[in-house]
Structure 1
Amino acid sequence: MTRAARPRPLPSRAARVKRWRQYLADERAEAAVYRELAGRKKGEEREILLELADAEGRHEAHWIDLLGDEVGPPLRGDLRTRLLAFLARHFGSLFVLALAQRAEARSPYDDESDASDAMAADERIHGEVLRGLAARGRTRLAGSFRAAVFGANDGLVSNLALVLGIGATGVSAATVLFTGLAGLLAGALSMGAGEYVSVRSQRELLEASQPDPASQAALAHLDVDANELALVYRARGMSESEATLHAAEVLATLRLEGDDPAAVGIDEHEAIGSAWNAAISSFLFFASGALIPVLPYLFGARHLLAVVIAAAAVGLALLGTGAIVGVLSGASPLKRALRQLIIGFGAAGVTYVLGLLFGAALG
């Protein structure tokens, strides 16, 4: 016969007070993060961050009320929040916003009986607010960031694969070194040129699809009963009924400012970025990534030792780039880092095995 489950004992008053004091310290630390970020922003973004700091102040007041005379001396916030405050104070970047977004998503108030439902809801909404603020930065960064990440990753993987594949055939270390340097230069030039052409072509295609500003001057003279403006909206993806209604509203009000027939919420040109920025980012990051597998040979390492050092260095770099992508995209840094590592080592490993096979066949 099994024993009946015993009810869990309630925590002592001392344990609850200790927990409340830590919550109080964390709320103060989070408010400091938002104020630090606000100090580096302007306009609407600054106002939003200050509002978030005020909300954390309301949560702070909740714990002060519960503690009463037991508030005690101020405690330090948890290490993660203090690190965020340091980064916000010195950088105030998208990276900090993305980390803060993940921190809000891990709120302890969902399972905290002493926190109100409103406090738990606030933390969830704060995460969405930060997601929106981070999305603005991600949009501004998207073009150059994509080129930088792809360039660094391609440089790491392709040149590691090249160095390992050539080295496995049994050629001299000098041959491996010069092959790696040639791969670095050729790959960096190719990536830079490819990014320039790709981004430039995307921008030209978008420009060809944008509405002609001069056509808006004709709106006031359109026949209300035979309204061809509706055709513009239908061509842009609206249903017939939606296009007719929207066109009628435009003609009725003639409020043309901000009435864009494209109805696009995000500036696609900004999301794609500058062709030159993408090309330069891709060239520099490919070169920096491709240099890492070559470094052991530059410093005199040979054979298996050089292979081990190159693989270890590239592995660390792949983990780093993957983690950065994870943080900035609001995803798990560990999962993105491991994904980057597995894909990179998989490609390099296949090339190394092929090099061994070719070397054996030639030998």
Structure 2
Amino acid sequence: MVLEEGRAVTKTTSAAAMGSTSATEKLLQKHQENHFTAGQVVRDVIMGVSDGLTVPFALAAGLSGTSAPSSIILTAGIAEVAAGAISMGLGGYLAAKREADHYMRELKREQEEIITVPDAEAAEIGDILSQYGLQPHEYNPMVNALRKNPQAWLDFMMKFELGLEKPEPRRALQSALTIALAYIVGGLVPLLPYVFITTAEKAMLTSIGVTLTALLIFGCLKGHFTGNRPLQSAIQTAFIGALASAAAYAMAKLVQGA
């Protein structure tokens, strides 16, 4: 009789668990969170476009201060855009590769610790969970469950102990290409007036207007995606670009006068 009751209880508990799981799945399907998940790509685009708009802009302004013809300024600007895109892309590749290598080193070390000192690692799980306000009687079942699943245990330690997310396999190459292409797109903007206007001074004035407009738009978009105030971000971005070009122009005039 007890056995039958035990079975009945087991069946009831199992049915309740299945019902709870089904209800949870339905809730998750209805509730769709619109979190922004393309942070790394946006960071690469921001890095490439901001430098692409600023550096060639400052170079063109500086050369305009030397009374160089538009053709020379355009040639120098295109050369700088090509070199800058390669340099920035390579820098993005190496940075992403370094992050991936660091993750793999820490992953291997954590795997060894789980094997060699499992009790210490389990204690670390409890310490981490206690920081979220859980008591030992609450987190001990979670610790035991993770110990039975080595892969989940490893993933937990990497994320919550070390704060490391697993990098995407092609992250380094994607970062390099994104930054390089963004730099080229941004770098061509201040150079376009020199394609159509032969007089360097007139081309420079047009370039200033076009580039400042582009910087304002880009700064506004950057503020929107990064969570900052769009107007404030637009003004800051345009100010930095204008300051860089003014410094380059003044330096060129100073050197020319000397």
Residue equivalent to 1:101? none
Measured against aligned partners, the alpha-carbon deviations of 1:222-258 in whole angstroms (never above 9, x if no partner) come to 6xxxx3335765999999xx9x999965664444363
Residue equivalent to 1:258? 152
CA RMSD of aligned residues (A): 3.7
Alignment check: 8 A CA contact 1:211 1:262 kept: no
> Is 1:164 aligned with 2:164?
no
Q: CA deviation at 1:273?
A: 7.6
What is the CA–CA distance in structure 1 between the aligned matches of 2:143 and 2:42, rounded to whole Å?
42
Cα 1:212–1:238 shift into 2, 3 Å: farther
Alignment check: 8 A CA contact 1:143 1:271 kept: no
Q: 2:250 aligns with which of 326, 329, 353?
A: 353
Residue equivalent to 1:48? 31
> Is 1:133 aligned with 2:20?
no
Alignment check: 8 A CA contact 2:190 2:210 kept: yes
Gaps of 5+ in 2: 1-25
Q: 1:208 aligns with which of 91, 102, 105?
A: 105
Alignment check: 8 A CA contact 1:319 1:337 kept: yes
* Matched residue type, 2:34: L
Identity level (%):
21
Residue equivalent to 1:228? 120
> Is 1:341 aligned with 2:235?
no
Q: CA deviation at 1:261?
A: 1.9
What is the CA–CA distance in structure 2 between the aligned matches of 1:217 and 1:190, rounded to whole Å?
41
Length, aligned pairs only: 226
What is the CA–CA distance in structure 1 between the aligned matches of 2:213 and 2:168, rounded to whole Å?
29
| TM-score, with length taken from structure 2 | 0.73
Matches within 5 A, 1:108-119: none
Residue equivalent to 1:280? 177
| Secondary structure, aligned partner of 2:190 | helix
| Secondary structure, aligned partner of 1:171 | coil
Alignment check: 8 A CA contact 1:196 1:275 kept: yes
What is the CA–CA distance in structure 1 between the aligned matches of 2:175 and 2:110, rounded to whole Å?
28
Residue equivalent to 2:90? 193
What is the CA–CA distance in structure 1 between the aligned matches of 2:28 and 2:105, rounded to whole Å?
32
Cα 1:236–1:185 shift into 2, 3 Å: farther
Higher helix fraction (1 or 2): 2
Matches within 5 A, 1:80-159: 133-134=34-35, 137-138=36-37, 141-159=38-56
- The more displaced of 171-180 and 156-165 is 171-180
Q: CA deviation at 1:303?
A: 2.3
Alignment check: 8 A CA contact 1:326 1:337 kept: yes
* Matched residue type, 1:264: F
Cα 1:338–1:294 shift into 2, 3 Å: same
Q: CA deviation at 1:151?
A: 0.5
Residue equivalent to 1:13? none
What is the CA–CA distance in structure 2 between the aligned matches of 1:352 and 1:314, rounded to whole Å?
15
| TM-score, with length taken from structure 1 | 0.54
Alignment check: 8 A CA contact 2:114 2:121 kept: no
What is the CA–CA distance in structure 2 between the aligned matches of 1:213 and 1:187, rounded to whole Å?
39
Q: 1:311 aligns with which of 196, 204, 208?
A: 208
Residue equivalent to 2:21? none
Residue equivalent to 1:23? none
Alignment check: 8 A CA contact 2:58 2:248 kept: yes
* Matched residue type, 2:217: G
> Is 1:302 aligned with 2:199?
yes
Cα 1:277–1:46 shift into 2, 3 Å: farther
Cα 1:346–1:267 shift into 2, 3 Å: same
Measured against aligned partners, the alpha-carbon deviations of 1:249-305 in whole angstroms (never above 9, x if no partner) come to 566444436332234397624599811111111111101111111111111341221
Alignment check: 8 A CA contact 2:158 2:164 kept: no
What is the CA–CA distance in structure 2 between the aligned matches of 1:189 and 1:235, rounded to whole Å?
46
Higher relative contact order (CA closer than 8 Å, sequence separation 6+): 2
What is the CA–CA distance in structure 2 between the aligned matches of 1:346 and 1:339, rounded to whole Å?
10
Q: CA deviation at 1:359?
A: 1.7
What is the CA–CA distance in structure 2 between the aligned matches of 1:185 and 1:330, rounded to whole Å?
31
